[in-house]
Amino acid sequence: MSTDSNEIAIVGMANDGMKKSIRVAVTGAAGNIGYALLWRIASGDCFGMNQPVTLQLLEIPPGMQRLEGVMMELNDSAFPLVRGILGTDDPNVAFKEADVIFLVGSRPRTKDMDRSDLVAANGPIFVGQGKAIDAVASSKVKIITVGNPCNTNALIACANAPRIPPRQFTAMTRLDQNRAVGQMAERSGVPASKINDLFIWGNHANTMYPDPRFAMVDGKSATELFDREWLQGDFLDTVATRGKAIIVARGASSAASAASAAIDHMRDWWQGTDGRIVSMALPSEGWYGVPEGLVFSFPCRCENGDVIVVDNLPIDSFAQMKIDENIAVLLEERDAVSELLGK
């Protein structure tokens, strides 16, 4: 291992004739989500058991000592797929030629805050990181934004990276989808693996809408299996406010489930969804009347490394009301960060 003031590297692991290694950058790598996420990336859970990875880890200077410890532990895990590990506090180094970026590094909220209250503290991070992505990342880079408020942070990063096509900037609503699946699994006794096509509209905020209308639970329609009162009442409220409930119970925001959802999101993008519908937030191209550019969670399928928005689902009056509510909140968030959008 070699160390200087702001860069740590563990290199030189043998290349054994497998596929070319991909460069995977993770920000906030010494934080709680990072600690759960890195092991899943390194083990092959995200990109497959035949895909070597080089990890490019970003922290801020006060996090560099913790990052050094995380890197020691990664090295001690002797993952067969890891081809190199770099730790740095310079985004231009972390994002260099990156094929995939997990934007996690930012402050979590406390129990007295809404996620949108974080925008003043966290928004500026995504200006500098967007510019660095623009300057040095692969032009095909796939980006997931996890740091909150994640939809608007993705918007900020995207606006500051004009070289990268907007569709490559996504934000994570997969945790909300997984929470919705978990609620239906618990209520019906059907394993999560048999619940499909349940997805989230809108913002990763209390206004989000887990849409049950197309969900299938062990071959049965969710809207036939569960009553409307539950679907539009306790089910919706539990999913929408789960983040706060976890902060209250754990004294810290969700980390393992968030890392797991980030793996699900990127694995599906990288490896495809086989026709299943999943939730991803990405800059709207006007789908379902959502104003262009707003980073909004839509029903998506992934194929050949592309995200395809399923843009022809029927919308009923409740869904329309929830979509409108999310548009309004995201427009407010966009107004609040207008000076960070570089226009």
Positions marked active-site: 204
Residue ranges of E strands in 92-167 = 100-103, 142-145
Q: Write each residue from 137 to 166 as x if it is in contact with ligand LMR (CB under 6 A), else as -, in one continuous string.
A: -----------x------------------
Amino acid identity, residue 143? I
Q: How many residues bind ligand LMR (CB under 6 A)?
A: 11
Spatial separation of the C-alpha atoms in residues 294 and 169, rounded to whole Å:
11
Residues in region 261-320 near ligand NAD by CB under 6 A: none
Contact region with ligand LMR (CB under 6 A), list: 82-90, 153-161, 241-249, 315-323: 241-249
- Residue 108 binding ligand NAD, by CB under 6 A: yes
By the 8 A CB rule, do 295 and 307 touch? no
> What residues pair up with 23 in beta bridges, in sequence order?
54
State which of residues 81, 150, 154, 278 lies at the interface with ligand NAD (CB under 6 A): 150
The answer for 289, left when phi > 0, alpha when psi is -120 to 50, beta otherwise, is left
- Residue 174 binding ligand LMR, by CB under 6 A: no
- Residue 198 binding ligand NAD, by CB under 6 A: no
Are β-strands 295-303 and 306-309 bridged in parallel, bridged antiparallel, or unpaired? antiparallel
- Residue 87 binding ligand NAD, by CB under 6 A: no
- Residue 122 binding ligand LMR, by CB under 6 A: no
Residue 66, phi then psi, degrees to nearest 5: -60, -40
CA dihedral 220, 226, 228, 229 (to 10 degrees): -170
- Residue 258 binding ligand NAD, by CB under 6 A: yes
Which of ligand LMR, ligand NAD, none sits in contact with 58, Cβ below 5 to 8 A by type? ligand NAD
Which of ligand NAD, ligand LMR, none sits in contact with 326, Cβ below 5 to 8 A by type? none
Sign, CA dihedral 231-234-237-242, equals: negative
Long-range contacts of 63-68 (CB under 8 A, 24+ apart): 63/28, 63/29, 63/30, 63/31, 63/89, 64/6, 64/8, 64/30, 64/89, 66/30, 67/8, 67/29, 67/30, 68/3, 68/8
Residues in region 27-86 near ligand NAD by CB under 6 A: 27-28, 30-34, 58-60, 63
Contact region with ligand LMR (CB under 6 A), list: 10-18, 107-115, 214-222, 305-313: 107-115
DSSP state of 202: B
Shortest approach of ligand LMR to residue 258 CB, angstroms? 6
* Minimum CB distance to ligand NAD smaller for 81 or for 281: 281
- Residue 175 binding ligand LMR, by CB under 6 A: yes
* Minimum CB distance to ligand NAD smaller for 107 or for 213: 107
Alpha carbon 159 to its chain's center: 18
Spatial separation of the C-alpha atoms in residues 113 and 253, rounded to whole Å:
12
Q: How many residues bind ligand NAD (CB under 6 A)?
A: 29
Spatial separation of the C-alpha atoms in residues 279 and 263, rounded to whole Å:
13
Which of ligand NAD, ligand LMR, none sits in contact with 246, Cβ below 5 to 8 A by type? ligand LMR
State which of residues 83, 109, 174, 301 lies at the interface with ligand LMR (CB under 6 A): 109
- Residue 205 binding ligand LMR, by CB under 6 A: no
Interacting residue ranges for ligand NAD, rule: CB under 6 A: 27-28, 30-34, 58-60, 63, 104-109, 125, 146-148, 150, 172, 175, 204, 253-255, 258
**Residues found near ligand LMR in the complex (CB under 6 A):** 108-109, 115, 148, 175, 243-244, 246, 253-254, 258
